[in-house]
Amino acid sequence: MWSKIAGVIFDLDGVLVCTDELHLRSWERLAREESLFFNEAIYSKRMRGAGRMACLATLLGQSPGGGSEAYTSAEKEALAERKNRYYQGLARTLTSDDATPGVRRMLTELRQRGIKTAIGSSSRNALLILERVGLSGLFEATVDGNDIARSKPDPQVFLLAAKRLGLSPSECLVVEDAPLGIEAARRAHMAVFGIGTAESLVGVKCLAPSLSQVTVDDLLAAGNCDQTSLPP
């Protein structure tokens, strides 16, 4: 059982902003240029929520002769940076209309109730995205891929977010849409609210198809859900 929820840590992509399509198109372009096998199923099942280099390793491993051993470390870094340039170009087209409906109201109500909020994202472009969709400055802490050495499912991003909020893991709730992020939250021994379906987020008891369909009371009640934390 968790303590009373005192902080809510939000994943960014797919929770506060719908950027999956931008990532998909960026990886798709890179795969096409490098003649690597890639499709939406690979992205959805193995890459969503993972860090950039982990995603690249997955992509390179999909094609015969295209494994990581076929590229030097410098070449892999260059590939990842090229994908990021494609993504940043697409991300700069985002506007406030791309934020999840109702998210500003939710953040305001959480603050009014004395609940701290943070971003816990593997993306290295979190600050750019928050600025583009008009959510900058609405969180007490932001932790993204630039702050961590290990991406999800490692719990580092959420544990650092809790530390920056001045809270213990048992006081924090994570709002996530990706299986890797759910696993990371459980390894951090934090309560979880899932954005998705029971089929895509197996074992998550508190969930909804979209954050726009969630109230603050729904979030805060998630600490009482029958969920099992994974060992660290």
Each residue's pLDDT tens digit, 155-193 = 999 999 999 999 999 999 999 998 999 999 999 999 999
Q: Which CATH code for domain 7-18+96-224?
A: 3.40.50.1000
Contact 14, 177 (CB under 8 A): yes
pLDDT: which is higher, 93 or 70: 93
Q: Which residue has the tokens 């987020």?
A: 201
Domain spans, the chain: 7-18+96-224, 20-91
The answer for residues whose C-beta is within 8 angstroms of residue 175's C-beta and 6 or more apart is 8, 9, 10, 11, 15, 193, 195, 211, 219
Q: Phi and psi (nearest 5°) for 17?
A: -140, 140
167 to 9, 141, 184, 224: CA distances (angstroms): 11, 12, 17, 18
**What number is the average pLDDT over the span 120-135?**
93
Pick the CATH number of 20-91 from 1.20.5, 1.10.10, 1.10.150, 1.10.3470: 1.10.150
Question: With 50 as the cut, is the pLDDT of residue 60 above it?
Answer: yes
**Residue that has been written with the tokens 């197996």 in this structure:** 202
Residues 43-56 have pLDDT tens digits of 888 888 788 888 99
Which range has the worst mean pLDDT, 39-48, 64-73, 141-150, 189-198? 64-73
Listed residue (133, 123, 129) closest to 80, CA to CA: 123
Q: What is the pTM of this model?
A: 0.83
User: What are the tens digits of pLDDT across the range 11-24?
Assistant: 999 899 988 889 89
144 is catalytic: no
Average pLDDT, the chain: 90
Q: What are phi and psi of 166, to 5 degrees?
A: 75, 30
Give the residues across from 51 on adjacent strands. none
> Which three-class secondary structure state does DSSP give residue 222?
helix
Choose the catalytic residue: 13, 144, 154, 177. 13
**Contact 175/152 with Cβ under 8 angstroms?**
no
Q: What is the pLDDT of residue 200?
A: 84
For the question of residue 11 being annotated catalytic, the response is: yes
